[in-house]
Amino acid sequence: MTPVQKRALEDNWPRWGLEYDDGPLDIDAVFGRPGARVLEIGFGMGDSLVEMAEARPDTNFIGIEVHRPGIGKLFHGLENTGVNNVRVYCHDAVEILRDCVADASLDTVQIFFPDPWHKKRHQKRRLVQAPFVGLLVKKLKKGGTLHIATDWEHYAEQMMDVLSAETTLVNSFSAGCFSPRPNDRPLTKFEKRGERLGHGVWDLLFTRT
């Protein structure tokens, strides 16, 4: 963690941080207003989350990330842009979803470029598995969106199989098909680098029925 990230994290955690131990989350109270609710799991260094929050000031964004330097970088970005519509957990996503997020309370859940665990013996560690998706779907409102993106084709195919098998989800684009990148998902530095190297990127958008 850089000194700038450390300072941003320590100074702003009381303002933007959420605690697992506080139990069920009252989203409107935390933001001091109603609004569309977007949950991002694993926002990395936070650049795209800051960009999305700045572009959509009426939307309330909740991030979950266990990498503390990433949270510090996010908070530094929020300071620099004056953005105030992001709140953050530094805790395990499964426990947050299970214990803190009410069922049918979210408009969107997004997971961008989760760890692909590309070695075959590690693939059981991948986040997007049927039990986890089942938990996610319960937290979405009817008509809510699950948006996942990856630059690993094998993982994309696995994601498509898992999401397509979930009976309460329907592909927002076309059955069995990946979606073009939506305009509201920022093009990350990581993704731009991948494009230069000839890597593909696959977006999956599903709607809760």
Task: Indicate which residues carry an active-site annotation.
Answer: 115
Strand order in the sheet with 59-64: 17-18, 86-89, 59-64, 36-41, 106-112, 140-150, 202-208, 169-171
Q: What's the distance, Cα to Cα, between the start and end of the chain in Å?
A: 42
Rounded to the nearest 10°, the torsion over CA 187, 183, 50, 64 is -90
Residues β-bridged to residue 179: 203
Sign of the Cα torsion 29, 33, 35, 39 reads: negative
How far is it, in rounded angstroms, from Cα 52 to Cα 29?
A: 21
* Helix (H/G/I), strand (E/B), else coil: 101: coil
